[in-house]
Structure 1
Amino acid sequence: MTIWRLAWRSALRRRRLFVWNMAVPLLLLTPVALSEAAAPHRVAVFGVFLVFFGSFGSAIPAVRDARDGWLEEILRTGYPAHRWLLERTLAGTAIDTLQLVPTLLVLLWSAGGLGAAPVVLLAALATLWFANLLGPLVAAAVRSLAEAALASAALSLLLLHFAGFFRSPVPGWTQLVADWNPYSPLRAALGAGVGAIGMDDSVWFRSLLVVLLVTFGAAVFSADWSRRLRWPRTP
């Protein structure tokens, strides 16, 4: 698993950045976790941060690797595009989760919901997997770091909105979309952890099915869409 090893070695060699990526979420979100803000508001803030953390951290490096020609060199060696995608997504998910676990535990501890830690961690893993998976797909559709950041933010906010982070879904099409939204398990798990809502186990199957289908489709057609990542190298 070449890409997996490279991702971990790169992350661990840049110790200062690795520590900052653990410290910054703690510095930003601990005041929110300890505040008197309503539980749904804390869930929304944490959900937005987690999704942005994963999507930005995946899309922007993918654009940079495409722009600098490093990705083209990897794929030119015959390394399968689907292996590059899956290993990269797996490594990014694992690293992001490790960096965010302390912050999630602070939220649960402050709300007396440490018993929900396993389900929150599972939901965070699924969320970060999907966010990291979208990164290369976004990078294939843009041609600059600024476009990648804008597209990632717009897509993330749209999915978060339809998952019910900003307004609870009502019966009808909004509830249907939320039921199949990849980020709905995170909302349900965080809500249960802080006592905002009860845990709805039914949301898991449909949401995770969408995650699996998107993963399968992205991997199967990776040889086609990854061609857009082979940019002319900048001088």
Structure 2
Amino acid sequence: MPSYLITGASRGIGLGLVQQLLKNPENQVIATARNPSSSKGLQELREQYPDSKRLIILTLDVSKPEDIKKAAEDAEKLLPGGLDVLINNAAILSNVLATVDEIDATEFMEELRINIVAVLEILRVFKPLVSKSTHKKIIAISSVAGSLELAPQYPAVGLTYAVTKAGVNMLARRWGKVYQNEGITTILIHPGWVATDMGLDGYEVLKKSMPKPPISVEESAIGIVKVIEETKFSDTVLFLSNEGTPIPW
């Protein structure tokens, strides 16, 4: 039974990934969220999938190192065979339409903390569990916004968010090659422009520069899961869209 752990699973893409993965009766899914009891989506899934081995819900506030450590300890007890797929999905978006002169530095620091530093902390704590597994995959949900080559196409929206995603891309490019020597596959995935609260922030500006309208959470999740399942060890470290096509760095 392949095992998956998803951060930021209370809503949006994270919740969509949990829903999609659970459709395969062979999968075991650990959904983590800052406050699971307040997530209507997770509570509905708990009722739909009462088997506590198929769906495990853990509290994990990625801004708190003690939460990350506790979640890893809990996961280790639940997964004696290791964690097959770690999906770093949790992220925040601020300063959506702010220009360089308008960026709130305090909000930017929090964005850097959640979107980059927390990813690093989660990676370090969960990597030993991934190493014990059969599939050994680490997935980072990134964004086309983090592409340096494509950056001039989106100059007016999400500047600080783009910086954090470029940072995650660099981290993954580095750790991916190191961990490849230990048999671990690392992939970055752009989920598409998704119709979530975060994805639609700045919609009026985004729609002028995006080639296609936003897609549903379900469509995004289906694509991401397909990419994860089809990813091979030799694919380390690729930056792919939810359709499996390469994205320029």
- TM tier relative to shorter chain: 0.3 to 0.5
TM-score by length of 1: 0.35
Q: If the length of structure 2 is used for normalisation, what is the TM-score?
A: 0.33
Structure scoring higher RCO (CA < 8 A, sep ≥ 6) equals 1
Larger Rg: 1
More helix by share: 1
Q: Which has the larger share of strand?
A: 2
